Structure 1
Amino acid sequence: MSGCLPRIRVLDMTRVFAGPWAAQLLGDFGADVVKVEQPGSGDDVRRMGFRKQGEDGAETGETSSFLAMNRNKRSIAIDIAKPEGQQQLRDLAAKADVFIENFKAGGLQRYGLDYAALAAINPRLVYCSITGFGQDGPYAPLPGYDPVFQAMSGLMSVTGNAEGDAGAGPAVVGYSVSDINAGFYATIGILAALHHRDTVSGLGQHIDLALLDAQVAAQSHIAMNWLVSGKPPVRGGTASQINTPWQAFETADRPLMLAVGNDRQFAQLCRVLGLPEVPADARFATNRARMAHKPELLPILQGALRTRPAREWMDALNAAGVSSGPINDFAAVAEDPQIRHRGMFRSLDDGAGGAQPMIANPLNFSATPVTYRSPPPALGAQGAEVLRDWLDEA
């Protein structure tokens, strides 16, 4: 046993992204995670994304999306439409610490697999339901996917190029941010409920998590800007809503992201750019003044930055304590010396003599390190093993 959660058993009855992401995190922390899938088809995400290609060009293995969400799990195929499948899952739930599901609100009740039914069998069970809109409310029965929640949460109203700029209009974030945020919240909630069970009550509880709620909450300071001021945030491209300069600028060869966090850093930026007079101008002396006078300030900075390549500016700015960085594609990310040093791109034995690429968990525990014990499982591959381990069945 290893990791922070070596004695925790998790039934992962989720599909696609949010639930599998949460369950994978628990698996990374050492929990025994069993992925419960429909026989024959399994998780929908087994058919979403790109597949690796063999030397002959033929597709091999699971999809990139499935591989991203399902390491450190074992798979069992159970047909919950059949009474024997329902009973088998109840038997497993009786031995579990955590049950995660993302069926429609109330969808498991007809199978006798809802929280009330399983808590009656196992009062210590932490049961996490992840849905689009939650277990109640006017939208509870509705389906939904990530871009819908990005739109409805307000995120798309602040994401994309500003009005009047080329390509103006709302844009989706380039990955399934609502799913991933919900997965993080689910993991936090599950860990909190386990702690309460083990230190306070001795009992599990039901966690009701909605992707829409999670995405609204994750917008934090941007949403709070509106609550405090009454002014709606706007789309700003790469620019911050509250600081300036805090955006991408053109250099002699490629874009460079600048993030100036205070007035001292602004003075340092101007010194490096050869503009020592700018911080002394009352229009630019404070961040509040700079925000009010962005149309005058930005062309001054842009004109200076276009005179040298991005690498030269980065070296000079880093030496002056001003944060800057390139806008990398993933090939550049993988080659970045800091990313390589931190080991964020790794490979895992795929169980067939090959190497499965993966993106590492970013948490580094001093005493209970994250472990990568197994690649994402084939559908139902460990069913007999799980039944033996959990239920002492042959």
Structure 2
Amino acid sequence: MAAVLDGLKVLDLSWGIAGPMTGMLLADHGAAVTRIEPPGGDPFAGMLGYKVWNRGKRNAVFDLKDAADHALFRRLVADADILIESFSPGVTARLGIDFAALSAINPRLIYCSITGYGEDGPDAHRPGYDALVAARSGLQYEQRGWPEGAVWHMTGRENPFVEAAEIDPDWVQGANREGPLFVASPWPSLGAFFSASTGIAAALFARTRTGRGQRVQTSLFQGALACGTGVWQRMDDPDAPGFNTWILASNSPKGHFQCKD
């Protein structure tokens, strides 16, 4: 049985986690993905996840500042369906590979951009690494350095869950400390990966109706906000029901407890 994306050609110029995972998903579903790296290689190549995120892809090396490589790259674009890039804002325009330039070559091209904070706004040119975005968005601050998260400290409200000490005193006093705490899971990148994949799927569907491609944009900051929706709601109304049912209303309290079989 043919895979759902058989016949589609993808150029993956991205680096980091979100873009390569987007290309990975397309390859998993049958697309022919060519990963394009600079002569110096991908700075993430030493990470264990690199081989996972880039499975099923062909690799090619292009120096997009070189005229011959640039011309060859444009020939690939003319026959491509999807392009994924994660350059900082303004870089693709300087290289002559922005959406305006490449859609003129191939009007059916779906051009996916993944940045740190979007292309405009006060944070657009901040370094867009996952951990920095997690800190900027509040995800690290919300980690459980305090009982039930940081919301009570941030709002100045009284924490009604100190009675959790009756369950496990260490939960309130022992292992907890003032945050922020480092978030090991790359939630901003994972959120951006899902957003990019959904956007590309929607653009492919739209192309069946219009015959034209379009630009799809997302950011790690957008991914962080998507993963932390409950945090922002809690800040507005920390007493709202439903945020802490694992303490008050659950038949099986959830958390970390020292146990044995």
User: Normalised by the size of structure 2, how large is the TM-score?
Assistant: 0.81
Pair 1:43 & 2:42 matched = yes
| In 2: Cα distance, 1:220 partner to 1:175 partner | 16
Helix, strand or coil: the match of 1:100?
A: strand
Conserved in 1, the CA contact under 8 Å of 2:187 and 2:223? no
Pairwise CA RMSD: 2.0
1:186, distance to aligned residue in structure 2 (A): 0.8
Does structure 1 retain, via aligned residues, the 8 Å contact 2:191–2:222? no
User: How many angstroms does 1:249 deviate by?
Assistant: 5.2
Report 1:80-99 matches (<5 A). 80-99=64-83
1:232 to partner: Cα distance: 9.0
**% identical aligned pairs:** 35
Map 1:164-203 onto structure 2 (within 5 A): 165=173, 166-168=175-177, 169-198=179-208, 200-203=209-212
Match of 1:161, SS?
coil
Say if 1:241 and 1:152 are closer, same or farther in 2 by CA, change over 3 A.
farther
Q: Which residue of 1 aligns with 2:164?
A: none
Contiguous gaps of at least 5 residues in structure 1: 50-63, 234-239, 255-308, 312-394
Matched, 1:72 2:56: yes
Structure 2, unaligned stretches of length 5 or more? 148-171
- Relative to 1, partners in 2 of residues 1:208 and 1:249: Cα closer, same or farther, differing over 3 Å? closer
Match of 1:247 in 2: 254
In the alignment, which residue of structure 1 is the partner of 2:167? none
Question: Kindly tell me: are residues 250 and 139 of structure 1, through their superposed partners in 2, closer, same or farther at Cα, counting changes over 3 Å?
Answer: closer
Q: Within 5 A, what are the aligned runs for 1:260-339?
A: 309=260, 311=261
CA distance in 1: counterparts of 2:31 and 2:89, whole angstroms: 26
CA displacement, residues 130-157 of structure 1 (integer Å, 9 cap, x when unaligned): 1101111122122121111111112122
Larger Rg: 1
Return the TM-score normalized by structure 1: 0.55
Larger % of strand: which?
1
Matched, 1:206 2:215: yes
The answer to whether the 8 Å contact 2:35/2:59 transfers is yes
How many residues are paired up?
229
SS at match of 1:207: strand
Q: Indicate conservation of the 8 Å contact 2:35/2:60, yes or no.
A: yes
CA offset digits 1:195-237 (Å, max 9, x no partner): 1111x2211111121111221122223333334x2x399xxxx
Deviates more, 1:101-110 or 1:139-148: 139-148
Match of 1:392 in 2: none
- How far residue 247 of structure 1 moved from its aligned partner, in angstroms, is 2.1
Alpha-carbon offset, residue 242 of structure 1: 4.1
1:34 Cα shift? 0.3
Runs of 4+ in structure 1 deviating by more than 3 angstroms, as ranges, are 240-243
Instruction: Note if contact 2:188-2:222 (Cα within 8 Å) is conserved in structure 1.
Output: no
Checking the alignment, whether the CA contact within 8 Å between 1:226 and 1:232 is kept in structure 2 is no
Residues of 2 paired with 1:15 and 1:232: CA distance? 41
Cα distance in 1 for partners of 2:256, 2:95 equals: 57
Larger CA deviation: 181-190 vs 217-226: 217-226
Deviation at 1:8, TM superposition (A): 1.2
AA of the residue aligned to 1:247? K
In 2, Cα distance between equivalents of 1:143 and 1:80:
22
